[in-house]
């Protein structure tokens, strides 16, 4: 079965705290892609990062960093020194082959609330 699990439904932190959003995935495919998206209150999903299954290098982009570990099937997302503008729902997603095409499988999302 192919599945993405985001165990944290809601997280609340105070501004400037670091926060890690967990993502665990399941797939038997050897080729797949992992994504993180941000959904602000406006509703539109915004792409943050893509990782393929053959690249386990961690990545840092400003205050954002991602830790991909195939051994534990995890793709965790850390925000350093969180800000109020980081408040949103964050989705982890897995892209796999499906009916000769591909589809994105989303986790349930983690709602992050950053308080001033």
Partner 1 sequence: DGGITQSPKYLFRKEGQNVTLSCEQNLNHDAMYWYRQDPGQGLRLIYYSQIVNDFQKGDIAEGYSVSREKKESFPLTVTSAQKNPTAFYLCASSAHHLNTEAFFGQGTRLTVV
Which residues are at the interface with partner 1 (CB under 8 A)? 4, 6, 9, 33, 35, 37, 42-47, 50, 52, 91, 95-99, 101-109
Under DSSP, is residue 111 helix (H, G, I), strand (E, B) or coil?
A: strand
Q: What are phi and psi of 57, to 5 degrees?
A: -65, 135
24 or 105, CB closer to partner 1? Answer: 105
9 or 116, CB closer to partner 1? Answer: 9
Under DSSP, is residue 84 helix (H, G, I), strand (E, B) or coil?
A: helix
77 or 91, CB closer to partner 1? Answer: 91
Rounded least distance, CB 38 to partner 1, Å: 11
Rounded least distance, CB 113 to partner 1, Å: 16
Residue linked to tokens 């000769």 = 100
Cα(43)–Cα(46) distance, integer angstroms: 9
């Amino acid at each position: 079965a192919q599945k993405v699990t985001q165990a944290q439904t809601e997280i609340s932190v105070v501004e400037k705290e670091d926060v890690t959003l967990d993502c665990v995935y399941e797939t038997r495919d050897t080729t797949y892609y992992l994504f993180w998206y941000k959904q602000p209150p406006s509703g539109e999903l915004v792409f943050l990062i893509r990782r393929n299954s053959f690249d386990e290098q961690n990545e840092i982009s400003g205050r954002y960093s991602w830790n991909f570990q195939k051994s534990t099937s995890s793709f965790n997302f850390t925000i350093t020194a969180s800000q109020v503008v980081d408040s949103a729902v964050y989705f982890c997603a897995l892209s796999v082959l499906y009916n000769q095409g591909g589809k994105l499988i989303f986790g349930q999302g983690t709602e992050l609330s950053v308080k001033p």
